[in-house]
Structure 1
């Protein structure tokens, strides 16, 4: 084969280390999308190797190629329809028998195959040694030893894959299923050969799948000319096999295939120490203990959320300063007008106000990636199985719910691992109640504005726990009312604990962070512009007062007082006429500004504040000593200026408030205010909640636009101060708002995924209605009970 491009499909069981091999092969040259027509994630990567351009596709992790789940169907169709040049099947060496079942099915598809015997270090540590030469001879394919997280054997694996891709097709791999099954295979294969069809599946494999009652294959054959006759023959053959084996034909064939695999393992496994207590077993004795497992899990979650809040604050400040500086630079470079306001207040302020929270998102995904890659995430599902079972859900449901902490979209897609349609739909409906990362900027903003650092992590943790609690309660209600029936028993593999690789962790963080930034550049940008328009128009507002005239009066009053109390006694026309006075005023101003900067955020009774106040007094005494005659005049000037500035600022705020109230956004907010007033919210919060229907983090940029109309600084510290200084906002209202944001309607992207996964508009509409109603009830209880308690 002279082609310089080679396509490689990576197949394997879940937890076989397939994605680790994929990351090792491709590095950062990856693309994540979806397979056509379905929501299964498609991961592709590229690599230059031996003068070849490798296209590597990471297929969904599956245990077999029987189309019981969407993942299995997608993997099978890609292998047959897209025809990759070679398939690399990643086997977990520590679970060889189970992993070989998929390898045998791939061989039966008659596609070029290379086997990677992965995690051999872990297997040998457990006392299992495998003779890969014998295994290679028995399967008639190359078998390569690999340790993916150490990059061991990866180049050898690629060398073998390229070689197999360039070789001529090998003879078909055949398992002898015994006379009863083989006779039926021949009978059905003969009928298929008589029918003119363009199916790309091997004839023998098609016959096997028909006998296994594979619904996808049955539906495909039914469409062929003579398809009904073939299916009738298949039905008769299945009845015959049912009588011969006294069990379902698909189970009989699976057992025969496992017998072949079992016999093969007997030949290739050199030593196996049964009953050896591994390191993972020892760790599990503590982490999955009936008494300690749940408290340890909750403790880890509490530590993660505290870590997100405390550590994320430092880079958050740096980004915020950069966004503010950029906004000021652009503002100074543009003339006054609507275009400047749109770019500085709407776009830079709106998008920048959300980008500020990127460090918190990265740290959250770092924590989730560590839990997944170490193997603890599967233990979390096992630990929570009792709780899940009590509400009628499968223990596996907890994994999508945990993924919901990151983003509801992949979490809802993750429900495909649930075989029971009822479990799957209930999990889809309650997953949005888990607090996704898009809500984190809202929590961070409100917690920083209204709660001190000592309780910040606990407040955040309580919101996440409330989401879990409500998801459990609603799942129980749905299972009892809408989706009755017995839950499936819990059967799930607990992979061995592994030390995660830095590359894998960084890849997780990079992928999710890029998705967050893309959202900031698309949805949030569009909503920021829309909100800016609604806040700033109509522009010809009929104000209740002559604010321009009142401002001019205040400025004139200040000038008159300065003239009478300072200029006339010194016999000068203006402050600038006395250079000593002008210098002294500048020095006093610098002392005040330095003091304000140093004391920002300090408690009134702190020792640091007292020390800084004393130091300020010393500086003021020194300045007074330099010119005792002019010092009282300079101090009085600053006092008058402060009073004048305060009066003008109050007028500007009053005018901005009235303009906002009469804008399109204000009118919309006033319209819904009666419905949200019992929750403690006013019309401004209502505007934010409406905008956040698109994406929850939009609430931050919306509130920034509302509270900073006409200002360049849209950074979160300015918004935190604006909220904290708003007399209509209290810690209780802030907590009520966080509860509402936690629960109410899934974002537009999540609603779209619910529609695609459920194949109906009924369920996204239902999810919107029930979550919003539940949010109203919970926020009402929080605010009303809190008010009665005096908060």
Structure 2
């Protein structure tokens, strides 16, 4: 670095409020230091890219307010990734008073790459050497004075999680803000230095631009042909063509002369200087010792063992979170059911035929919320396991292992985590999967991942698969489940490739540059905290959407409602049932307990609640206690409900049982008719001309429409639409199978429906999350329209081809699978026509770590 020249201007007056940017590479301890300085608690993980959005906090020092902005972890200040753009835009637009560059003392050479760029921007910089304890444990001794002299900035050693160096860093920040203006330290670019200097001088002479950005930084970026730097120049200079032409000519001439791009040359200069500084500032006492991280990686990243260990890891995640976590729902569901009963008690009482709107809508909302809350144990375990993978350092290795494969389909190594969360095989959820794409630095791969994560087999898809397989493939369940669990991944990769070479082809790409952090033992506190925080975030984000969607679906299923003639018909049937009830109990003294319609409705509701409570009790003692409470709270109505040898009581109980059964049947028929004539039901009929090629009737259409709100709604809606006749007691599989087969439906329809469901647009909660992640209603709309068209096309081709070739459902499913797998192999054999912006591989590993 060249020695800075101190300007002659006096020191500026210290501002009453300091704005400090905290910048550093991923996994350097930046978020830990942010927490130590501000007292806030950010999520900290041993995984690159945890902080994607910039976050701020503050503290008081020397009677001055200091605002700390924690920028996303980034390896450089180019414009390849979302993190780089967010960090660079903040530095250029906000112009902070001081930049604290957090550098991992145990990986100094790697960290200095970003340091040189921050210095070149011209901000007052303070180096915070983090993880000094880790460096010491590895036998590293740092000469802080020499390091400070070479970099021309103050260097403060810190240990963030212990608070060591916190006050010294705060004092250094204040001194840097009050120091006289200095010419920023720079590095010499060797054979490119003359071109940089010429551009720098020309840019510095431009009015207004020097106040926005460092002329030397801009000169180097233009020679690297940085698109964001070119945009910034055009934005601030009326006629920028001359400078851009000069930069282009200089870059072309340099590459022709040296056979290397200016960007690669600049990167090599930075790395060379970092090596020189490392040689003069760092002493390694254990240079010959193989680090523990490298010894572990020799096993976990072994060519043949790595895939096996990865598969084992994924299996353990599913076994513990999905299988065992689902067992825990048997404990939580009675609690949720009890909450529903409590809500029913607080809401207005049910009518004989018509419930108050407040009650019916309220219980609808509770049921919708319970469908979400029932999976909380699964998510708690799942997020805890993901946190362990992050903190241990293995999550980065997963991306490392899979990147070369995923890259051929336009994806990124870090697409692995979203796919896992979305449900690679079965049991995930697309909402956290889409949320997890924030860490993907490649914009094209990130969008491809966002748009294909919903193809994964989320837990809510499983009930419909189970229903259809039980009806049409009872003898080949295992094979069909295998097809479904893997064909969704095949479809996702093929669609990602298609999107990458079509609608996403103009998006920027980034090199796959990822640190393989040192292994650490996760802390129980950290894992539990992040598991709870992420689950709570999921509940808040999805819960609000579920309530909104439940309201819309409720309205669409209720209105326009029954005609006056049909309402009168059901009312007459109810009146006839009540007349029969009273006639049966004529002369029975217990009839006096229900003299009017209100008391009779109260009795029937009490009967319904009592029967529900009796099903929940698990012992004879609990049943006797329930009967005792009923007799104490409702002494006049208890004889209708509690078993007794009294002839009058037994007659009353029989009459009440018949009345309640008739009322239940009438209410069910009213509900069915209301759904058929509802707006949603009519829409299902209107879609039949479009879906007939997949052999979907209006009932299937209504189920698919309702499942857009929540995947679980598909089976629930089918359960209502394919209701059982009076007096029967059939399962949904039996009655739906009988009706569909009687209508001429075959297993081909089931195959078409399952494939449609696999490719169907994401549920509304996921769609909203896509809007949040992309900040675009256009992409949210695309995520609905494109999968719908694709799913309908695949389902229609599947059914019509199967009918034309006279194939069975199993034969057609096998044929589709073989074709898709063959296409996947053929596509994977050819390298992508679009490339990354830098050569691959681009992995960054800890010093002494595994390559």
TM-score (norm 2): 0.71
Q: Does 2:517 match 1:495? A: yes
Alignment deviations for residues 441-483 of structure 1 (CA, whole Å, 9 cap, x no partner):
66589989999xxxx9999999765543432354466679999
Contact 2:140 2:285 in 1 (8 A): yes
Structure-1 residue corresponding to 2:817 = none
The Cα RMSD (Å) is: 5.3
Alignment of 1:738-753 (within 5 A): 741-746=757-762, 747-749=766-768, 752=771
Q: Does 2:184 match 1:173? A: yes
Q: Does 2:546 match 1:524? A: yes
Q: Does 2:705 match 1:690? A: yes
Structure-2 residue corresponding to 1:260 = 273
- Distance between the aligned counterparts of 1:700 and 1:17, measured in 2? 46
Question: Quick one: which of 112, 117, 132 aligns to 1:100?
Answer: 112
- Distance between the aligned counterparts of 1:257 and 1:82, measured in 2? 26
- Distance between the aligned counterparts of 1:635 and 1:88, measured in 2? 83
Q: Does 2:30 match 1:18? A: yes
1:141 CA drift (Å)? 2.9
State the SS of the aligned residue for 2:761.
Answer: coil
State the SS of the aligned residue for 1:543.
Answer: helix
Alignment of 1:231-630 (within 5 A): 231-239=244-252, 241-242=254-255, 245-271=258-284, 273-274=286-287, 276-289=289-302, 290-291=304-305, 292-303=308-319, 304-315=321-332, 317-332=334-349, 339-341=357-359, 343-351=361-369, 353-385=371-403, 387-388=405-406, 393-402=411-420, 404=422, 406-417=431-442, 421=444, 426-435=448-457, 440=459, 467-475=488-496, 492-501=514-523, 502-503=525-526, 506-507=529-530, 509-510=532-533, 513-514=536-537, 516-521=539-544, 523-541=545-563, 542-543=565-566, 546-563=569-586, 567=588, 572=589, 574=591, 596-598=615-617, 630=645
- Distance between the aligned counterparts of 1:505 and 1:461, measured in 2? 34
In structure 2, do the counterparts of structure 1 residues 280 and 637 end up closer, same or farther at CA, with 3 Å as the change threshold? farther
1:759 CA drift (Å)? 8.4
Contact 1:351 1:528 in 2 (8 A): no
In structure 2, do the counterparts of structure 1 residues 429 and 662 end up closer, same or farther at CA, with 3 Å as the change threshold? closer
1:80 CA drift (Å)? 1.9
Contact 1:11 1:61 in 2 (8 A): yes
Higher mean C-alpha displacement, 72-81 vs 390-399: 390-399
1:102 CA drift (Å)? 0.3
Contact 1:129 1:269 in 2 (8 A): yes
In structure 2, do the counterparts of structure 1 residues 503 and 538 end up closer, same or farther at CA, with 3 Å as the change threshold? same
1:685 CA drift (Å)? 5.7
State the SS of the aligned residue for 2:670.
Answer: helix
Structure-2 residue corresponding to 1:728 = 736
Contact 2:467 2:733 in 1 (8 A): no
- Distance between the aligned counterparts of 1:779 and 1:341, measured in 2? 43
Alignment deviations for residues 718-765 of structure 1 (CA, whole Å, 9 cap, x no partner):
xxx9996994389x9999988755531134335547876898799644
Q: Does 2:766 match 1:766? A: no
- Distance between the aligned counterparts of 2:249 and 2:218, measured in 1? 16
TM-score (norm 1): 0.75
- Distance between the aligned counterparts of 1:590 and 1:209, measured in 2? 73
Contact 1:415 1:428 in 2 (8 A): no
Structure-2 residue corresponding to 1:188 = 199
Question: Quick one: which of 207, 226, 229 aligns to 1:214?
Answer: 226
Structure-2 residue corresponding to 1:44 = 55
State the SS of the aligned residue for 1:407.
Answer: helix
In structure 2, do the counterparts of structure 1 residues 211 and 630 end up closer, same or farther at CA, with 3 Å as the change threshold? closer
1:169 CA drift (Å)? 4.5
In structure 2, do the counterparts of structure 1 residues 166 and 722 end up closer, same or farther at CA, with 3 Å as the change threshold? farther
- Distance between the aligned counterparts of 2:169 and 2:795, measured in 1? 53
1:662 CA drift (Å)? 1.7
- Distance between the aligned counterparts of 1:550 and 1:79, measured in 2? 75
- Distance between the aligned counterparts of 1:779 and 1:342, measured in 2? 39
- Distance between the aligned counterparts of 1:778 and 1:311, measured in 2? 39
Contact 2:140 2:283 in 1 (8 A): yes
Contact 2:81 2:510 in 1 (8 A): no
Higher mean C-alpha displacement, 171-180 vs 189-198: 171-180
- Distance between the aligned counterparts of 1:701 and 1:634, measured in 2? 40
Unaligned runs of 5+ in 1: 32-39, 578-587, 600-607, 617-623, 710-720
- Distance between the aligned counterparts of 1:26 and 1:736, measured in 2? 56
Question: Quick one: which of 654, 672, 685 aligns to 1:639?
Answer: 654
Unaligned runs of 5+ in 2: 1-12, 44-50, 423-429, 471-476, 595-606, 627-638, 724-728, 739-746, 815-851
Q: Does 2:674 match 1:656? A: no
Q: How many residues align?
A: 724
